[in-house]
Amino acid sequence: MTTRRATVLGVDIGSTNTKVVALDRDGHVVARVRRRTPRNADDPSVDADQLFDAVEDMVLEVCGDQLAVQAVCAAGIGEDGVLTGAGLHPLTRALAWFDPRRQGIFHTLSPQLGPADDMGVNPDPARTVVGWSWARSQADTETAACWLALTDFASARWAGTAFLSETLAARTAAWHTTARTWMATRVAATLGATDLLPPVVRTGDLIGPLRSARLAEAGVLAPDAVVVAGGHDHPVGGWGVGLLSGGAVLDSMGTAEVVTTQSRRAAPSPADGLDSAAGIHQGGTTVLRVEELDRNVKWARLDTAVSTALDELIKGNRQPDGYLTSGTFRPGAAGGHLPRYTPDAPTDPASRASSVLGALAELGGRAIESVSAYAEPSAQVFTAGGWSRSPGWVAIKQAVTQREATAISEPEVTATGAALLAAHAIGWAPDPATALDPAPQTV
């Protein structure tokens, strides 16, 4: 251990990929690893044990024979989770937030949920309450002892204690974000009992010592390594970006497009299309809006000619035509609702591709506007995620929204934000600009 360099690790449990980033004391990203989040080809749900093993593989890979883990913090998917039995072993798979099966479950549940204020989110098919109901309907769950969010699963295993990060509690549609209590009637109608819910902890809190026989045997753990609570991926990434510029707005474009800010204002009403959770390391509120992005494009790509045109537009090798702002493509919504073209949509593949990207750019622009209303008046907009590195898409987004933004060069913003949280928890003070490397140019 004396020859290894102390680092903090940030883990991002993503819908598509899982990432691990290592930061040193000064904020340099000294190693990063990315792998596909393990899912079966015919079933988007996740085996939590398989994911845990994959995360430990990634920790070993990122540390190699040079680095030691001083602290680790995981952020990621907001709504997915599993029922666990003794020893925090999963009894169910984690139903994906985008799984179409959620629509039927939600339709059945809706009359039982009832109205509620101060939930932070509106109930819809993507929310955790739907996953609770599905999990309770699975076989062999009578011995269930606890519900764990998929994002918190590895951390809970390492710390040997169940917990739920507060920004993930806010995604359930059963957590009073201001009172910090559960709505017992919604829990009873879906999960069955509040006794199955672990303690809710604030993002950035120390959970306990990091214990892993496998990681210890490999020599990658510092003697006093600890686990730090993370939470919902985009608020954690947004908090990290906020260290660059107070009140910053982050437009993160990956599997979904999520716009978020840390606001000093009171929580908005979910009726405004905005979600909210407790602020991270400050008073106030985390404000965010989530829109489908990648799934809409995948649907359009089912037409191979449209797929080819989309590639050319996204890369900047073709200019969009007049259908960019036609409104002839209607994006799908959360919970598996399918996209569609309107009856007057063009048949030309290039025009269809233009209408798809124009509609998605407009949707993202509305999200930026609504979240920015809760940010500081001078708040800077930053972009991140794979889509932010596609020149054609960036040009389309700017043409449609008439907004400029600064690109974050670091490709793993959520994992880096989680690593910055881990560093903060143990008293380190890494430079966020060194970690995130915002590009000086605007796009």
Predicted local confidence at residue 336, as pLDDT: 62
Question: Which pLDDT tens digit goes with each residue over 296-325?
Answer: 999 999 999 999 999 999 999 999 999 999
In the structure, what pLDDT confidence band is assigned to residue 14 with cuts at 50, 70 and 90? very high
Q: What is residue 329's predicted lDDT score, i.e. its pLDDT?
A: 97
**pLDDT tens string 77-128:** 999 999 999 899 999 999 999 899 999 999 999 999 988 777 888 899 999 9
SS3 content of the chain, % helix, strand, coil (to 5): 35, 25, 40
Contact 436, 260 (CB under 8 A): no
Give the CA distances from residue 332 to residues 16, 97, 340, in Å, rounded to whole numbers and listed in that order.
Answer: 18, 14, 7
Query: Helical H runs in 180-301?
Result: 184-190, 213-217, 233-242, 294-300
- 192 pLDDT above the threshold of 50: yes
For CA atoms 96, 98, 99, 105, give the dihedral sign: positive
pLDDT of 271 strictly over 90: no
Q: What's the whole-model pTM score?
A: 0.88
Quote the CA–CA distance of 274 and 370 in Å, as a whole number: 8
CA atoms within 13 A on the CB side of 74: 32
Give me the mean pLDDT over the 234-247 stretch: 91
The pLDDT of residue 443 is 32
Tell the residue number behind the tokens 């076989």, with chain if given: 139
Confidence of residue 442 (pLDDT cuts 50, 70, 90): very low
The pLDDT tens digits for 394-404 are 999 999 999 88
Token digits of residue 387: 């889509």
Q: Is the pLDDT of residue 184 over 80?
A: yes
Percent of the chain residues past pLDDT 90, beyond the cut: 80
How distant is the alpha carbon of residue 174 from its chain centre?
19
**HSE, side-chain direction, 13 A CA sphere, residue 84:** 25
Give the Cα separation of 189 and 353 in Å (integer): 43
Contacts of 27 (CB under 8 A, 6+ apart): 420, 423, 430, 431, 432, 433, 434, 435
Q: Which residue has the higher pLDDT, 18 or 290?
A: 18
Six-digit token string for 95: 């139903």
How many Cβ atoms are within 10 Å of 89's Cβ, its own excluded?
A: 12
Q: What per-residue confidence (pLDDT) applies to 281?
A: 85
Mean pLDDT of 251-259: 89
Where do the domains of the chain lie, and which CATH numbers do they carry?
A: 5-233+416-424 (3.30.420.40)
> What value does the mean pLDDT take over residues 353-370?
96
From the list 292, 287, 231, the residue with the least C-alpha distance to 414 is 231
Please state whether 92 falls in left (phi above 0), alpha (psi between -120 and 50) or beta: beta
CA distance 242 to 331: 30
Q: How far apart are CA 414 and CA 403, in angstroms?
A: 23
Asked if pLDDT for residue 272 goes beyond 90, the answer is: no
Cα–Cα separations (whole angstroms), residue 323 to 66, 102, 106, 344: 53, 33, 35, 11
- Amino acid 86: pLDDT: 87
